[in-house]
Amino acid sequence: MKNKILNTLLIFTPFIVYLEWGTGNKSFLYEAELLILKKIFINPTAVLHPFIIMPLAGQLLLIFTLFQRYASKRLTVIGMLLIALLVVFIFFIGLLSLNVKILLSTIPFLATAMATVNYYFKNKRQ
C-alpha cells in the first residue's frame, strides 16, 4: 500500500515545480502540461521533444502502476527516472541561476523520489 502512496506522490509532486524564464515569464509545471496536452491533439509534432515526451511517459507508467494489484518496482523506477530527468534539469537551472523559488519547488519531488528508492531498497522482495 505504501508503494502506491509513493507512486501517487511521484505523479503529483512534479506539478508544483516552478519555472521562470526571460522577463516576466513564469509557470508551474501543471500549467505547462495542460498546454501540452491541449496542443498534442491539435499539432502533435509541436510537442515531440524528449523533455516533453519522457516525463509524460513516466507519468503514464506511474498511473499504470496504480491499477496493478501490486505496483511493479521496475515500472515505478522507470517512471520515476523519466520524470526525474526533467525535474533534476530544472533543479540545476535553479541552482545555476540562484533562483530559490525554482530550487524549493523541486524539493518535494526529489524527496519523494529518494523516499521511494529507500522504500524499495528496504523491501527487496517486490
Q: What pLDDT is stored for residue 2 in this prediction?
A: 85
Q: How many other C-beta atoms lie within 10 A of the C-beta of residue 90?
A: 22
Q: What pLDDT is stored for residue 48 in this prediction?
A: 86
Q: Is 71 left (phi over 0), alpha (psi -120 to 50) or beta?
A: beta
Query: Is residue 126 predicted with pLDDT exceeding 60?
Result: no
pTM, whole model, 2 decimals?
A: 0.88
Report how far apart the first and last C-alpha atoms of the chain are (Å, whole number): 12
Q: What pLDDT is stored for residue 41 in this prediction?
A: 86
**Where do the structural domains in the chain lie, given as residue ranges?**
2-122
Q: What pLDDT is stored for residue 5 in this prediction?
A: 93
Please give the residue that has the higher pLDDT: either 88 or 23: 88
With CA atoms as reference, report the closest residue to 21 among 85, 83, 96, 88: 96
DSSP assignment string, 14-55: GGG-EEEETTTEEEEHHHHHHHHHHHHHH-GGGG--HHHHHH
Q: What does DSSP say about strands 25-28 and 18-21: parallel, antiparallel, or unpaired?
A: antiparallel
